[in-house]
Structure 1
Amino acid sequence: MASSPKLVTVFGATGNQGGSVAQSLLRNKSTFRVRAITRNPESEKALALAAAGAEVVKADGFKKDELVKAFEGSWAVFVNTNTDDPIFDEPNGPTEVDLGRIIVDAANTVGVEQFVYSSAGSVSEITKGEMKLDMMDHKYAIEQLARSSPNIKTVTAVYAAWYFENFAVPFLSELWGGFPFQADSEEYLTLCLPRPGGEDKVPYIAIEEDFGDLVHGVLLNPEKYGGKEIQATSQLLTYPEIIEAFQKVTGKKARYVLLSDWKDFPTMGVRSLENIKLMLGFMQWCEGRYYRNLEFDEQTAKDLKKSVEDSVGSSGSLVTADQFFAKIFGAGNN
């Protein structure tokens, strides 16, 4: 007799990461049921998840009683806390760790078996205080809170790479020289960023198409991947290789120009952009090792992606830069 599908609850299900996880799990309804937590069940994204078969519930991450109710009956939860939430900009307001503590307490109260968290390494700890980056330090602190919770059986950390999707945001393109939207005075679409460090490889993730599948793969085989640190990477590329992939697909003139000092990355005083600048500096400090100062691991992501495709009876592999740029900027998309 076939076992009943396991309930996986997704916190932040209408965000980029949570939405990808929910949509991926919904491909495998014989194995998983999906409960999607959102502050606004009437939003377009929430309604789309409901139409796809998810149970959509309303809950506020700062209200433990609402989260306990939302987590009840869950075999697993996936959590991503949004560093860029405006609430964290409020003077004397809560921090991301405050939010994470409430979420973890709720999961611990329920006794969740599998807790999968979108985490990061502690920059302060890795650099021995030379650098500080709240975006990463806070996520690491939340991960440790989960790992020290007695009623949560297994905590798995998933580290998201740089988003391919960032190249499709016109506002961000202005910060790195205009690529891939605005040509410079010499009619080049110019990508201007500092060296990543080390071998100059940068990990990228196709959030929509790959991130959710990697979390899905962890939950398919928790005996193997549970409790581990998963590098969510679709492809490792240098900046010149990014330019090459874009030119190959679009035929447009593009180039990479070195920004000599990461401290010169423009931020306009915006906290999220300050985080990007500090991340660029951290990568140079650890010689390009983006993931908690660890060596890159491409194979695990490939294995996880394949396990999902095998489970749902489909075929597919991790998204490449060629495929991403073709989808967004290829013929008929300009």
Structure 2
Amino acid sequence: MVAPLTRTIVVYGATGAQGGAVARSLLQSTVGFSVRALTRNPLSPPAQELARLGAEVVQADGFNHDQMRAALTGAWGFWLNTNHHDPAFPTPEGVDDTIFGEHLISLAAEVGVKVLIYSTCESSSEHSHGKAVVKGMDNKNRVFRYGVNQPAFDAVIGAIPGWYMENFLSPEYAACFGGFPLRSDAEGYLTFASPHLGGQGKVPWLAVAEDFGDMIHGLFLDPAPYHGRTVQLFSDSITMEGLTALFSEVTGQKARFVPQATPAEFPTYGVGALEEIRDIFAFTQYTGGNFFGHPNDIQASQALKKAAREASRSQDGYELITIREYFAKHFGPKNIQG
């Protein structure tokens, strides 16, 4: 059943990668959703662009409960993503990302929001029987479960994004993985260096800008079947070896995958986000390559993308973008068939 008209959806962090994609897709909806885009800086160019597209842009800081209560009042839906790598955590009062997320969810329940979609992860502790723990994944899962246990909501959905294709455009990210696809090594190769994922080794890649917003849009169109569930959201899957071979095929540049023997070889430089990536490799190796805790299953992503495009003013692009298409779009030639 498609959601009725004129329902307001609050998008937290609407100028970020995930929130921005969600807001832009919802703003194209013919179902009649209205978008209340939350940002700390309504005058920023991304916020002003959302306003131009029709969003109600509202200044709200997640640490300011009065602002958040006002922003959530009257809303039907709430998209929430919290960043456990935010240097603001823990606060001097001891608030960590888990407490922060639970506070926002409590406020949403208190003011009558009916549908919560939270960007989450599976519990690494549960799926690895405590053998390969990723603290950030567990914290995200704890916040999701907190939401599920709030009886005021009609539906609470855990959206699990795959690995960002956008990271291929980041020099900082490329530097952590051997330089691929932005910087050649001493032998002239674009080298992707990392541990194996484990199992069949197929990484679930997600085009955030092209696909993720539509997937969340699709969930808001018909949330009831997904209540209490986590949903895998990704655009394509491929092994590291296949990734670099495909890049060479599409671009004509020399590229290769160089495996690291164990996750411990992955360089972290004492950076928390990189330490988490190392731990994720340990987790996926323990689970037989299952980043989502279960085998990759793209069916929900495909169905949600299609539903969103059918409910959009622009009905182009019903299909999820492939890695081949992404490489062709951002790194050159040309033939994206086959």
TM-score range, shorter chain: over 0.9
Cα displacement (A) at 1:152? 1.6
Cα displacement (A) at 1:130? 2.1
**Which deviates more, 164-173 or 215-224?**
215-224
Cα displacement (A) at 1:90? 6.2
Q: What amino acid is aligned across from residue 258 of structure 1 in structure 2? A: P
Corresponding residue for 2:16? 15
Aligned mates of 2:4, 2:186 — CA distance in 1:
63
Corresponding residue for 1:170? 171
Structure 2: gaps spanning 5 or more residues = none
Tell me the alpha carbon deviations over residues 35-92 of structure 1, each in whole angstroms, 9 at most, x when there is no partner: 0111111112111111111001111112222211111111111100012211126677
Corresponding residue for 1:296? 296
Aligned mates of 1:3, 1:215 — CA distance in 2:
17
Corresponding residue for 1:32? 33
Alignment of 1:129-140 (within 5 A): 129-140=130-141
Cα displacement (A) at 1:147? 0.9
Corresponding residue for 1:212? 213
Aligned mates of 1:208, 1:165 — CA distance in 2:
8
Cα displacement (A) at 1:127? 2.2
**Which deviates more, 91-100 or 58-67?**
91-100
**Which deviates more, 227-236 or 92-101?**
92-101
Cα displacement (A) at 1:331? 5.0
Alignment of 1:94-243 (within 5 A): 94-243=95-244
Question: Is this contact kept in 2: 1:111–1:153, CA < 8 A?
Answer: no
Question: Is this contact kept in 2: 1:76–1:114, CA < 8 A?
Answer: yes
Q: What amino acid is aligned across from residue 65 of structure 2 in structure 1? A: K
Cα displacement (A) at 1:146? 0.6
Aligned mates of 1:196, 1:209 — CA distance in 2:
25
Query: Which of structure 1's runs of 4+ aligned residues deviate more than 4 A?
Result: 89-93
Aligned mates of 2:84, 2:246 — CA distance in 1:
30
Cα displacement (A) at 1:125? 2.8
Tell me the alpha carbon deviations over residues 94-123 of structure 1, each in whole angstroms, 9 at most, x when there is no partner: 311121011011111012111000011121
Question: Is this contact kept in 2: 1:114–1:226, CA < 8 A?
Answer: no
Aligned mates of 2:227, 2:124 — CA distance in 1:
24
Q: What amino acid is aligned across from residue 234 of structure 1 in structure 2? A: S
Question: Is this contact kept in 1: 2:217–2:308, CA < 8 A?
Answer: yes
SS in 2 for 1:318: coil
SS in 1 for 2:216: helix
Question: Is this contact kept in 2: 1:203–1:236, CA < 8 A?
Answer: yes
Q: What amino acid is aligned across from residue 300 of structure 2 in structure 1? A: T
Corresponding residue for 1:84? 85
Tell me the alpha carbon deviations over residues 209-247 of structure 1, each in whole angstroms, 9 at most, x when there is no partner: 111110101111223334332100101111122112211
Aligned mates of 1:226, 1:145 — CA distance in 2:
13
What TM-score do the two structures reach when normalised by structure 1? 0.94
Matched-pair identity in %: 40
Question: Is this contact kept in 2: 1:6–1:33, CA < 8 A?
Answer: yes
Aligned mates of 2:97, 2:90 — CA distance in 1:
10
Alignment of 1:234-313 (within 5 A): 234-291=235-292, 293-312=293-312
Q: How many residues align?
A: 330
Cα displacement (A) at 1:3? 5.6
Cα displacement (A) at 1:281? 1.0
Question: Is this contact kept in 1: 2:155–2:226, CA < 8 A?
Answer: no
What TM-score do the two structures reach when normalised by structure 2? 0.93
Aligned mates of 2:265, 2:4 — CA distance in 1:
56
Aligned mates of 2:309, 2:322 — CA distance in 1:
17
Structure 1: gaps spanning 5 or more residues = none
Question: Is this contact kept in 1: 2:195–2:262, CA < 8 A?
Answer: yes
Corresponding residue for 2:6? 5
Cα displacement (A) at 1:309? 1.5
SS in 2 for 1:47: helix
